[in-house]
Chain A
Amino acid sequence: MMAGGASDLSDGGRAERFKALALPHLDDVYTLARYLLRSASDADDAVQECYLRAFRHFDTFRGGPVKPWLMAILRNVCHAAYAGSARLVFTADGADESQAAPIWREHGDTPEQALLRRNDSDTMRRLIGELPAEFREVIVLREINDLSYRDIATVIEAPIGTVMSRLARARGLLREAWMAAEGDGEAP
Chain B
Amino acid sequence: MNCDEASILMHALIDGELDAGHARELETHIATCAGCAARLREFHELRKMMTLAGLRYTAPVTLRASIEGKLPAPPAAASRRSVIKGFAAGAALSAIAASGLLVMVARRDDDRRVLGEVVSAHLRSLQAQHLTDVVSTDRHTVKPWFNGRLDVAPPVAELTAQGFTLLGGRLDYVDAKPVAAIVYRRRVHIINLFCAPAPGSANSKATMESLHGFNVRRWSENGLNLWAVSDINADELMEFGEKFEAALKQ
Could you tell me if A100 and B74 are in contact, using CB atoms closer than 8 angstroms? no
| A13–B60 CA distance with the chains assembled, in angstroms | 26
Q: With A27-B59, A168-B8 as known contacts, state yes or no: A120 contacts B210, CB within 8 Å.
A: no
A180 in the interface (beta carbon within 8 A): no
Q: Which residues of chain A have C-beta atoms less than 8 A from B17's C-beta?
A: 148-149, 164
| A173–B232 CA distance with the chains assembled, in angstroms | 33
Q: Which residues of chain B have C-beta atoms less than 8 A from A104's C-beta?
A: 53-54
Q: Which residues of chain B have C-beta atoms less than 8 A from A150's C-beta?
A: 187-189
B141 in the interface (beta carbon within 8 A): no
Cβ of B12 to closest chain A Cβ, rounded Å: 6
Could you tell me if B46 and A1 are in contact, using CB atoms closer than 8 angstroms? no
Could you tell me if A15 and B57 are in contact, using CB atoms closer than 8 angstroms? no
Q: Which residues of chain A have C-beta atoms less than 8 A from B12's C-beta?
A: 149, 164
Q: With A149-B187, A164-B11 as known contacts, state yes or no: A121 contacts B76, CB within 8 Å.
A: no
Cβ of A48 to closest chain B Cβ, rounded Å: 6
Q: With A10-B86, A51-B67, A100-B58 as known contacts, state yes or no: A120 contacts B188, CB within 8 Å.
A: no
Across the interface, B56 reaches (CB within 8 A) one of A10, A12, A27, A174, namely: A27
B52 in the interface (beta carbon within 8 A): yes
Give chain B's interface residue range (CB within 8 Å of chain A).
35 or more
Could you tell me if A178 and B46 are in contact, using CB atoms closer than 8 angstroms? yes
Give the tally of cross-chain contacts (CB within 8 A): 150
Which of chain A's residues 1-29 have a Cβ closer than 8 Å to chain B?
A: 1-2, 10-16, 18-19, 23, 26-29
B71 in the interface (beta carbon within 8 A): yes
Which of chain B's residues 89-137 have a Cβ closer than 8 Å to chain A?
A: 89-90
Q: With A10-B74, A120-B49, A143-B47 as known contacts, state yes or no: A103 contacts B56, CB within 8 Å.
A: yes
Q: How many residues of A contact B (CB 8 A)?
A: 59
Could you tell me if A124 and B57 are in contact, using CB atoms closer than 8 angstroms? no
Query: What per-residue 1/0 map shows which CB atoms of A128-167 lie under 8 Å from chain B?
Result: 1000000000000011100011100000000010001101
| A89–B83 CA distance with the chains assembled, in angstroms | 47
Provide the main secondary structure of the chain B interface: helix
Q: Which residues of chain B have C-beta atoms less than 8 A from A121's C-beta?
A: 53-55
In the complex, residue of chain B having the shortest beta-carbon distance to the beta carbon of A122:
B53
A85 in the interface (beta carbon within 8 A): no
Could you tell me if A27 and B76 are in contact, using CB atoms closer than 8 angstroms? no
A125 in the interface (beta carbon within 8 A): yes
| A104–B8 CA distance with the chains assembled, in angstroms | 31
| A101–B52 CA distance with the chains assembled, in angstroms | 16
| A52–B63 CA distance with the chains assembled, in angstroms | 12
Query: What per-residue 1/0 map shows which CB atoms of A15-57 lie under 8 Å from chain B?
Result: 1101100010011111100100000100110011001100100
Could you tell me if B76 and A10 are in contact, using CB atoms closer than 8 angstroms? yes
In the complex, residue of chain B having the shortest beta-carbon distance to the beta carbon of A125:
B55
B79 in the interface (beta carbon within 8 A): no
| A11–B60 CA distance with the chains assembled, in angstroms | 27
| A26–B67 CA distance with the chains assembled, in angstroms | 10
Could you tell me if A120 and B52 are in contact, using CB atoms closer than 8 angstroms? yes
Q: With A30-B57, A30-B59 as known contacts, state yes or no: A12 contacts B76, CB within 8 Å.
A: yes
Across the interface, A12 reaches (CB within 8 A) one of B7, B10, B67, B86, namely: B86
**8 A-B pairs with the lowest CB-CB distances in the bound complex, closest first:** A12-B74, A103-B54, A12-B76, A30-B59, A121-B53, A104-B54, A148-B188, A100-B57
A residues within 8 Å of B by Cβ? 1-2, 10-16, 18-19, 23, 26-31, 34, 40, 43-44, 47-48, 51-52, 55, 62-64, 99-104, 106-107, 117, 120-121, 124-125, 128, 142-144, 148-150, 160, 164-165, 167-168, 171, 174-175, 178
Q: A14-B74, A117-B53 are in contact. List 20 more A-B contacts (CB 8 A).
A: A10-B74, A10-B75, A10-B90, A12-B76, A27-B56, A31-B55, A47-B67, A51-B67, A51-B71, A55-B72, A64-B233, A100-B58, A102-B54, A103-B56, A104-B54, A144-B50, A144-B56, A149-B187, A168-B8, A171-B46
